[in-house]
Structure 1
């Protein structure tokens, strides 16, 4: 019996198998398009910022020093409490200075009596000129009066100094701020010439922060401000991130630029002042500062939607003609957890922000509009407000 294959005719079953094998692969097991969350890109004005390290310093800090010698008899303040300028803090034994005031007062009274006596003698000499009193007598009386007036002035200045020293036996706070623990105890001998202080008073509200940036960046900043005419250095503001990662709520105001560059780090400091009512910032604390100086145009891309390739280029996924396409983009820094993209995206592009983990170039996708809240959570744009 002759085989049907030898006659050149395919069996019916063989023809069906051949036709099936001839179909394109995607027609056999083509997966459905994957839904992906997308956000439509729109260019917008974004603050121009630089992020630099910084360190908090006290706006004012001073040592409380004695101005007279003596024994500490009382400590009049509580450490760790706010204190205002002029508040008594220490008392130095005043007895010696009280005695000096009394003696100075008696010297003033004696000098005053001498002035009155000399004045009377001078007046009498003037009246009796030509009646047994010569001009030389008048001049002698005048000299005696002048000496008496000079002695009175010396006695009065000595009294003023004695009264000042008596007042200095009460040591007061020189500035407003927080008072430290006392460095002395009752019974300790202190002197006006000592190098160490009795305590420290530190102003914590407001507090100042020195931000350290490369000198070349400050020069670029100044050039950009001068060329754009959008502002001047004194209009700069800064925000802070604390050591534990929290954002400091209050923005700081520019105080002064630095006028020298560090020879070891090449940085220059710029000082800002921050309100600090809760004392969250303390002198010596390290922070990260973000300085805002003008605006730039760019696309804001949430950081979770962008990755870096092996060459370190920043890439994102966008939807083109129903397929996923990966693009390299150029960033100009970060603003509030978003990349600022200046090149690689166009107005109206559909940026894929959800469902990127399993994407491959050319994969069929179904774009689903979504929104991203301030916490970085993604929500279906069609869902009612407050819905899950």
Structure 2
């Protein structure tokens, strides 16, 4: 391209010279045309004088010879002007050809740069690369795309999980409430494989558009900061999502609940130490306990052992058991 550019500069200089030649030839032609016109005027005047026998024949012949010489000079000037104009046209054609050569060279350079770009491969993301799937010298990308290596992002890390339809409603309602209130507590925590708590909370960043009809679950994804690189791609962790918060919720051990034909019941020990059967309405399960929404009041004692031997109205001698601990969030 540099050589072709130099040739273009030479062609442009030649065109400028040809332009000067044309202007000079045109000036010469104009000058000689003026002189020819003057010679023709003299020839007509001297011819009249010769016819009147006022001048010698030799004097007229000299004027006529000068006129003929100027006519020849004008013809030569016209030929020189035409040649100069043709040379200028040829110089312009040379310039256009040089420019076409430069454009072709630039296109070749762009194509070479594009081909060169195929020799350098850059990852579109930051992270850690796994083992190479090809070796030096392998033919790649001939027909189909070729997997060279897999790069995984490390910060942030994404945890994919799914919840049931009922839990999905709770997750969605809590997310909507947080968005409206501008709450900053995400309520998503991790437990690592060694049972230690992950120090950074997560945030819900993806909710699938529909529930999977095959499993009845909704796919979600949470994002976690990973500055210490404790989380690794493909790792299995335990995820805990805060679905709902209830203040002063009434919890009953799961062992006290008897479920039959869509209803739930339990036995309450009355003040006279008699067992009373109660039908209860259950809420969500909280670890090994149930949230009871109706049927039992706070402070009442429920039976958790020997349910098969107890009947309503039977007198019992209760012994108190400590309530089982529940998880910090569910």
1:119-170 superposed Cα distances (whole Å, 9 cap, x missing partner): 3223334555522377776565445434423432432343344345445434
Counterpart position of 2:316: 363
Classify 1:221/1:194 alpha carbon distance in 2 versus 1 (closer, same or farther; 3 Å).
Answer: closer
Deviation, 1:112, is: 1.9
Partner of 1:340: 291
Higher helix share: 2
C-alpha separation between the residues in 1 aligned to 2:244 and 2:92? 76
Q: Who is 2:23 aligned against?
A: 130
Which residue is equivalent to 1:114?
7
* Cross-structure match for 1:50: none
Counterpart CA distance in 2 for 1:375 and 1:212 is: 20
Contact 1:118 1:141 (8 Å CA) reproduced: yes
Question: Is contact 1:306–1:316 with CA below 8 Å preserved after alignment?
Answer: yes
Say whether 1:279 aligns with 2:231. yes
Higher RCO, 1 vs 2 (CA within 8 Å, ≥6 residues apart)? 1
SS in 2 for 1:130: helix
Give 1:179 shift: 1.9
In 2, the alpha carbon distance for the partners of 1:229 and 1:188 equals 55
Deviation string 1:198-227 (CA, Å, 9 cap, x unpaired) is: 2222224433344445678757876x579x
Matched residue, 2:47: none
- What RMSD over aligned residues (CA atoms) do the two structures have, in Å? 4.7
Instruction: Kindly state the Cα deviation for residue 299 of structure 1 after the two structures are TM-superposed.
Output: 1.9
Q: Where does the alignment leave 5 or more consecutive residues of structure 2 unmatched?
A: 26-80
1:174–1:247 Cα change, 3 Å: same
Residue number among 172, 185, 198 corresponding to 2:148 in the alignment: 198
CA–CA distance in 2 between the matches of 1:345 and 1:278?
45
Q: Flag structure 1 segments of 5+ consecutive residues without an equivalent.
A: 1-107, 377-388
1:184 aligns with 2:134: yes
Residue 342 (structure 1) shift:
1.7
Kept in 1: contact 2:288–2:326 (CA 8 A):
no
2:320 and 2:270 map into 1 onto residues whose CA distance is: 10
| Number of the residue aligned with 1:58 | none
CA distance in 2, matches of 1:233, 1:158: 60
Give matches, 1:23-62, under 5 Å. none
Deviation of 1:319 (Å)? 4.9
- Within the candidate set 251, 257, 260, 1:307 is matched to 257
Aligned partner of 2:33 in structure 1 is none
Query: Does structure 1 retain, via aligned residues, the 8 Å contact 2:253–2:324?
Result: no
Change (3 A) 1:345 1:215: closer
Correspondence list, 1:141-180, <5 A: 141-166=91-116, 168-180=118-130
Task: Report the equivalent of 2:59.
Answer: none
2:202 paired with 1:255? no
Q: Which residue does the alignment assign to 1:10?
A: none
Q: 1:13-52: CA deviations, max 9, x gaps?
A: xxxxxxxxxxxxxxxxxxxxxxxxxxxxxxxxxxxxxxxx
Aligned equivalents of 1:233, 1:179: Cα separation in 2: 40
Would the alpha carbon gap of residues 200 and 160 (structure 1) be closer, same or farther in structure 2, given more than 3 Å must change?
same
| Closer, same or farther: CA 259–117 of 1 in aligned 2, 3 Å | farther
Q: Which structure has the larger Rg over C-alpha atoms?
A: 2
What is the TM-score when the length of structure 2 is the normalising length? 0.56
Structure that is richer in strand per residue: 1
Cα deviation, 1:299-324, whole Å, max 9, x if unaligned, reads 25264563335557555565532636
- Kindly tell me: are residues 232 and 207 of structure 1, through their superposed partners in 2, closer, same or farther at Cα, counting changes over 3 Å? farther
Q: Alignment partner of 2:147: what SS?
A: coil
- How far the C-alpha of 1:191 sits from its partner, in A, is 4.7
Aligned length: 261
